Amino acid sequence: MALTLADVRNDSKRYGPLAWVATVSPSGTPYTSPVAVAWNGDEILAFLATPEAKVSNVRFNPRVSIHFSVSADTDWDSCVVWGNGRIVDDRPGREALWNMMGYDCNLFEPGGPAAESHVFLVVDPTRALILRNYGKKGRDSWRCR
């Protein structure tokens, strides 16, 4: 079945707000770490501390993947989204995204969007894959045209 991006967005919500974000360092070392994510229209957001490796990695190489957590609650289905990321680190950008995460960003950054110690990762999806029960029950994919 050919998916739409809306299908991917809706399916990814079954896995909850936590996902694994993979980036690559300038030396070619892969990094994967869990983060809270949220959809903002057709983009995926993550709120990150400025000194995190993910931030410097995306500044160097914008290609990222996001793997939504797999569990028995979803019959071991999984959703992986690949795309191009960018770091939003200016105050107007942080202000525009501050209330889009689905939780209070002030819990992690009491200085609010004026503080430079946190940034947003914004991912523009280019393709996605949904595996049903680790692929045993099928797979669906989407690609940006």
Structural domain containing residue 102? 5-143
Q: Indicate the number of domains in the chain.
A: 1
CATH number of the domain encompassing residue 85: 2.30.110.10
Torsion of CA 64, 39, 10, 133, to 10 degrees: 40
Angle at 77 between CA 71 and CA 82, to 5 degrees: 105
End-to-end, the C-alpha distance of the chain in Å comes to 16
Average pLDDT of every residue of the chain: 94
Q: What is the mean pLDDT of residues 105-113?
A: 93
pLDDT tens-digit map of 52-77: 999 999 999 999 999 998 889 989 99
Q: What is the mean pLDDT of residues 94-107?
A: 95
**Half-sphere exposure in the Cβ direction for 120 (13 Å, CA):** 27
Q: What is the pLDDT of residue 80?
A: 96
Q: Per-residue pLDDT for 2 more than 90? A: no
Q: What is the mean pLDDT of residues 115-134?
A: 95
Burial of 1: CB neighbours in 10 Å, binned 0-12, 13-18, 19+: exposed
Residue 145 pLDDT level (bands cut at 50, 70, 90): confident
Residue 131 pLDDT level (bands cut at 50, 70, 90): very high
pLDDT tens-digit map of 26-45: 999 999 999 999 999 999 99
